Amino acid sequence: MQGVRCATASRLCVTWAVLASSLCGKARRIGTTPANRSFGLLGNAGRMANAAAADNQDGLRGDAMTMRGPAGDGGSGGDPTVPLPARDLPTAVPRRFGPGGRGRPGGSEFSYVAATATVPAGHGYAYQPHARGPRRHRVRRVLRRLVIAAVVLILLGVVAFGGLMAATPSAGNASQLAAEQASAHQVAYPGPAVPARFAAALTATEDWRFYSEPGIDVYAVARVGFGYVTGHGIGGGATLYQQLAKLLYTEGRSSPKDEATQVAVAIKLYLTYSRPKILQMYTDVVYFGNGFYGLSQASCGYFGVGPSSLSWPQAAMLAGMVQGPSLDDPLTHPANARIREEHVIGRLVATGKLTQAQASAALAVPLSSLVANAGGCPA
């Protein structure tokens, strides 16, 4: 019985020695900061337990039950061996708290997370690392933050847009402003109805969504706004509503403040006037170059015919001049005028207003024939 008790005591000492040595090694790998020095006690305990185990084994060499070889190996002389027990051991994991200790930034403290110990025969304890939490929680957190940011941006945009609409002038006096400008340029107001060919050519090249948009092209406005934010100054994309607002309310200026005003007024024009009225106001005040304001003056001045008698190539040439009237004047810059005519004819084909055969026939007419009667309409 005394031998059995001694053997049992020896097994316990060996077990505690392995446990203390494992924890001590783990502590050395984690670090030796002031907050982790408590693991030095485990190292001392491990060394003391190893010494005690060695003394007990020396005293038990002659007993009936001896321990020979590593756990799981067979002993000599038919004596059984005592396998080391397999148990769940903790793994020390540092937690950051604060520079002054627990609960403050910069400090650390060790907590224990259970790890599973597996004991292959003859190889001692093996530890499996603690598994990380599921990544989907982080993904959900990021998505939630993105949704919140998007909602905040939308709300800010709505508030800013409401302020812009309140700060800009009403569009109820647009017809009066157009009449004043037409009178200043000796143009009868209101002029004749906009002919179908010129309306098709103008919308195809300047604003092909004119009959479906709410006064502005949202994508174009976003592109221009992004250009100003990034410093690239991307222009273009103004609808006919915006161009009319530029002519009537901002005196042709194009600063960021003026363009914001044009966007707001364009929406008000859309809500106030019909599309035919918008086209008529636009064609009565827009400049066509060579001193011609309004469609009637330009049609008579360049081609010697009234607006209702414009051919497709003549209508295309006039529609192509509104962006650069001085540069695309067919009387002084015929080459530029021809390029613009070709561009507008191509847009008419793209929007389905002309077939390719009709486009080819229109471009076959020489420029000299188009302007042969320039100088004014017959009385």
Quick one: average pLDDT of 345-371?
Answer: 95
Between 294-303 and 312-319, two packed helices, what is the crossing angle to 10 degrees?
120
Which three-class secondary structure state does DSSP give residue 124? coil
Helix H or strand E encompassing 309? none
Q: Which residue has the higher pLDDT, 76 or 245?
A: 245
As a dihedral over the C-alpha atoms of residue 326, residue 332, residue 333, residue 338, rounded to 10 degrees, the angle is 100
Q: Which range, of 25-34, 45-54, 305-314, averages the lowest pLDDT?
A: 25-34
Whole-angstrom Cα distance, residue 138 to residue 144?
Answer: 10
Q: 314 exposed, middle or buried (CB, 10 Å; 0-12, 13-18, 19+)?
A: buried
Quick one: average pLDDT of 277-301?
Answer: 95
Q: What is the DSSP letter of 123?
A: S
Whole-angstrom Cα distance, residue 379 to residue 344?
Answer: 31
**What are the φ and ψ backbone dihedral angles of 232, each rounded to 5 degrees?**
-85, -20
Asked if omega into 325 is within 30° of 0 (cis), the reply is no
pTM score over 0.75: no
**Residue 19 confidence class, pLDDT cut points 50, 70, 90:** low
pLDDT of residue 47: 57
Residue 287 has pLDDT above 70, yes or no: yes
pLDDT of residue 39: 42
pLDDT of residue 332: 93
With the C-alpha atoms ordered 28, 95, 129, 118, is the resulting torsion angle positive or negative? positive
Quick one: average pLDDT of 9-34?
Answer: 51
Whole-angstrom Cα distance, residue 246 to residue 263?
Answer: 9
Q: Where are the alpha helices (DSSP H) in the chain?
A: 2-30, 39-59, 136-167, 174-184, 196-206, 218-230, 240-249, 256-272, 275-285, 294-303, 312-319, 334-350, 356-363, 367-370
Quick one: average pLDDT of 310-315?
Answer: 96
Given a contact cutoff of 8 angstroms between Cβ atoms, the answer to whether 91 and 111 are in contact is no
pLDDT of residue 220: 74
**Residue 135 confidence class, pLDDT cut points 50, 70, 90:** confident
pLDDT of residue 272: 95
Q: Say which residues have a Cβ less than 8 Å from residue 357's Cβ, sequence separation at least 6.
A: none
Whole-angstrom Cα distance, residue 369 to residue 330?
Answer: 12
Residue 85 has pLDDT above 60, yes or no: no
**Residue 379 confidence class, pLDDT cut points 50, 70, 90:** low
**Residue 158 confidence class, pLDDT cut points 50, 70, 90:** confident
**Residue 109 confidence class, pLDDT cut points 50, 70, 90:** very low
pLDDT, the chain, mean = 75
Q: Which residue has the higher pLDDT, 13 or 248?
A: 248
Q: Which residue has the higher pLDDT, 6 or 217?
A: 217
pLDDT of residue 62: 43
Q: Say which residues have a Cβ less than 8 Å from residue 232's Cβ, sequence separation at least 6.
A: none
In this prediction, what percent of the chain has a pLDDT beyond 90? 44
Report pLDDT digits (tens) over 219-275: 777 776 666 666 665 555 689 999 999 999 998 888 888 888 999 999 999 999 999
Which three-class secondary structure state does DSSP give residue 91? strand
Residue 351 has pLDDT above 60, yes or no: yes
Would you give the distance in Å from CA 199 to the centre of its chain?
37
Given a contact cutoff of 8 angstroms between Cβ atoms, the answer to whether 42 and 24 are in contact is yes
Candidates 213, 216, 225; CA nearest to 267 is 216
Quick one: average pLDDT of 189-203?
Answer: 94
Distances (CA, A) of 210 to 20, 206, 292: 82, 9, 25
Q: Which residue has the higher pLDDT, 48 or 252?
A: 252
Q: Which two tokens stand for residue 353?
A: 């207003």
Given a contact cutoff of 8 angstroms between Cβ atoms, the answer to whether 30 and 36 are in contact is yes
Report pLDDT digits (tens) over 202-225: 999 999 999 999 999 887 777 766
Q: Which range, of 97-111, 131-145, 312-326, averages the lowest pLDDT?
A: 97-111
**Residue 15 confidence class, pLDDT cut points 50, 70, 90:** low
Amino acid at 16: W
pLDDT of residue 108: 46
Whole-angstrom Cα distance, residue 89 to residue 30?
Answer: 17
